[in-house]
Amino acid sequence: MNFSLTTDRQGLQRLLCAGVFSLLLLAGSMAASARDLVIAIRSEPTSMDPQYHALTSNIQFSQTLFEPLICNDNDLQLKPCLAESWTSDGNVWTIKLRPDVKFSDGSPLTADDVVFTFKRVPLVPNSPSSYVIYTQQITSVEAVDPLTVRITTEKPYPLLPNNLASLQIMSAKAASGAAPEGKTTTQLNAGEGLVGTGPYRFVSWRRGSEIVFERNPHYWGTPPAWDKVTYRFITNPASRIAALLSGDVDLIEDPPTEDLPRLRNNAGIRVVTKASNRVIYAALDQHGEQTPGISGTGNKNPLLDHRVREAMSLALDRKAIVERVMGGIATPAAQLLPYPMFGTSQKLTQIPAADLERAKELLAQAGYAQGFTLILGTPNGRYINDSKVAQTLAAMWSRIGIKTTVDAVAPPVFFKKRDGHEYSAYLAGWSTTTGEMSNTLNALLVTPNIEKGVGTTNRSRYSNPEMDKLVESAATEMDDARRADLLRQANEMAMADFAMLPLHFEQSVWAMKNDIDYPGRVDQMTLAQEVVPVGK
């Protein structure tokens, strides 16, 4: 068949145009499917080392880069992760690893990486809240073969699977180093050895600005929806909302409670609320006669007196705090976990009413009829309305003669001062990934003991040997009903002693563009891998 030169040229041009158009369509399709995600969070992590600081703002990044043997879903139910199965025979646990899992550098996951991870935990220096609390019962971790790990505990230990969910597995190859712990926290913060099996891998951390991740090409699971994820640190709640409404970010955590009605009425915004197990509490120093931040007591520590602690509790109108300060996005608390979580008490579901006259009587009985002055430490931007809650506590305590001023500082400064015991009283929060009372009491109220790995966040240095024994007995009790009862007793004993003052349980809120969705999590973490485009 013959064609003229003109016809041939026109046909060629049509083919070329069609080809270019097809490429443009393909490129547009790829761009649409390769959308990046920008998240604004309230608090910058203190470290990228997955074993340095057991803090939610740190853990949510660790769980994006790394993975544990066993995972928690968004309601804290256990599910297999790097471990396909786990079985126990007395105090010996056998963990079978998932085959064909690779780290983000392409190297395979083996039992040796698990052994390295567990051995590193107690070697990490200067941890503000140590991960030893999750390994305290473990006596040995052995690699039986490349895909089998044997973990031996000192005694039968029913909480081991729960605790395994809190330990992110590191690469022995990437995280080894000259220091006793291998790569140091400083090196990991710089991105050296920051190699995990998670859905994303580390790109950069600009302090005070943002952290950037990209999709891990070697991820064994379902690929996440986003090619690149940027977490921006916007501590001011109003600024987070402004960034969302302007389109600069796709999702924000903890919008101001007073702005929620406006956001819910915005057709372009989706609001997600999830009940959490995070308790906000006031901790009171009970270590010795010398305590910072208190004056007018003749060099005595009034917080050692049970009557003073009870008076401070009675001065607090918890329901008013929830309604007026939290905008109803919280639940008043009389214990450290919401009932009916494991080890909680039905007796402590009734919220004590404020009683100013009785509080003043107790102060007078304790010898402080004229009151005293107190400095209350608080982070500013770590918890929902934290500095506002602290100011409200100060006003309520001042009404009974405890003239309170607030020291509200950035979260990293607060934790450093708290861990240095610079506060006689401070406001903070706690949540547990295990969803039960044992780790909460072990971390916050059991007598601090570095060797045993307990009391790791007990900065008030409360000590009650009788309560300690109950918690210790519960740790090795395999019968669930009996273990729950032991923890309930310990819980009731601590609350009756006003060991610390629970205030409320936060309800977490996320706001986002209406073309994406996030299910929310009980542990309050904002995980990029669980954010999905609507309809995907």
Q: Which two tokens stand for residue 462?
A: 């409360």
52: nearest Cα among 62, 66, 44? 62
State whether residue 144 is helix, strand or coil: strand
Q: What pLDDT does residue 301 have?
A: 96
In this prediction the pTM is: 0.75
Please classify residue 71 by burial: count the beta carbons closer than 10 Å to its beta carbon, then call 0-12 exposed, 13-18 middle and 19+ buried.
middle
Q: pLDDT exceeding 90 applies to what percent of the chain? A: 81
471: confidence class by pLDDT, cuts 50, 70, 90:
very high
State whether residue 284 is helix, strand or coil: strand
Amino acid at 152: T
State whether residue 343 is helix, strand or coil: coil
List, in order, residues 6 or more apart from 444 with CB less than 8 Å away. Answer: 336, 430, 457, 458, 500
Type and span of the H or E element at 390: helix 386-398
Distance of CA 357 to the CA centre of its chain: 38
25: confidence class by pLDDT, cuts 50, 70, 90:
very low
Q: pLDDT exceeding 70 applies to what percent of the chain? A: 93
Q: What pLDDT does residue 15 have?
A: 37
Taken in order 126, 131, 136, 140, is the CA torsion positive or negative?
negative
Distance of CA 77 to the CA centre of its chain: 16
At which residue do the structure tokens 């992760």 appear? Answer: 81
How far apart are the C-alpha atoms of 386 and 379, rounded to whole Å?
Answer: 7
Whether residue 89 is predicted with pLDDT greater than 50 in this model: the reply is: yes
Q: Which two tokens stand for residue 25?
A: 């369509």
Q: State the CATH architecture for 36-268+514-533.
A: 3-Layer(aba) Sandwich (3.40)
How far apart are the C-alpha atoms of 513 and 251, rounded to whole Å?
Answer: 7
Whether residue 497 is predicted with pLDDT greater than 70 in this model: the reply is: yes
Residue-wise pLDDT tens digits, 440-465: 999 999 999 988 888 989 999 999 99
Q: What pLDDT does residue 302 have?
A: 97
Whether residue 4 is predicted with pLDDT greater than 60 in this model: the reply is: no
Cβ atoms 499, 331 nearer than 8 A: no
28: confidence class by pLDDT, cuts 50, 70, 90:
very low
Mean pLDDT for 290-304 is 92
Q: What pLDDT does residue 18 have?
A: 40
Residue-wise pLDDT tens digits, 514-525: 999 999 998 899
Amino acid at 167: L
91: nearest Cα among 161, 152, 164, 137? 152
How far apart are the C-alpha atoms of 89 and 109, rounded to whole Å?
Answer: 25
State whether residue 102 is helix, strand or coil: strand
At which residue do the structure tokens 């969910």 appear? Answer: 165
Mean pLDDT, the chain, whole residue set: 91
Length of the chain measured in residues: 536
Query: What DSSP character marks residue 346?
Result: G
Mean pLDDT for 69-83 is 93
10: confidence class by pLDDT, cuts 50, 70, 90:
very low
- Least trusted range by pLDDT, from 2-16, 258-272, 422-436, 487-501: 2-16
Taken in order 488, 494, 498, 503, is the CA torsion positive or negative?
negative
Comparing 174 with 55, the larger pLDDT belongs to 174
Type and span of the H or E element at 146: none
Phi, psi of 172 (to 5 degrees): -60, -35
Whether residue 26 is predicted with pLDDT greater than 70 in this model: the reply is: no
Whether residue 415 is predicted with pLDDT greater than 90 in this model: the reply is: yes
Residue-wise pLDDT tens digits, 96-110: 999 999 999 999 999
CA quadruple 252, 232, 378, 494: dihedral, nearest 10: 60
Where along the chain do the CATH 3.40.190.10 domains lie?
36-268+514-533
Q: What CATH number belongs to 277-507?
A: 3.10.105.10
How far apart are the C-alpha atoms of 53 and 122, rounded to whole Å?
Answer: 12
Residue-wise pLDDT tens digits, 373-397: 999 999 998 899 999 999 999 999 9
Where along the chain do the CATH 3.10.105.10 domains lie?
277-507
Strand partners, 98: none
Residue-wise pLDDT tens digits, 154-182: 998 988 999 999 999 999 999 999 999 99
473: nearest Cα among 492, 486, 491? 486
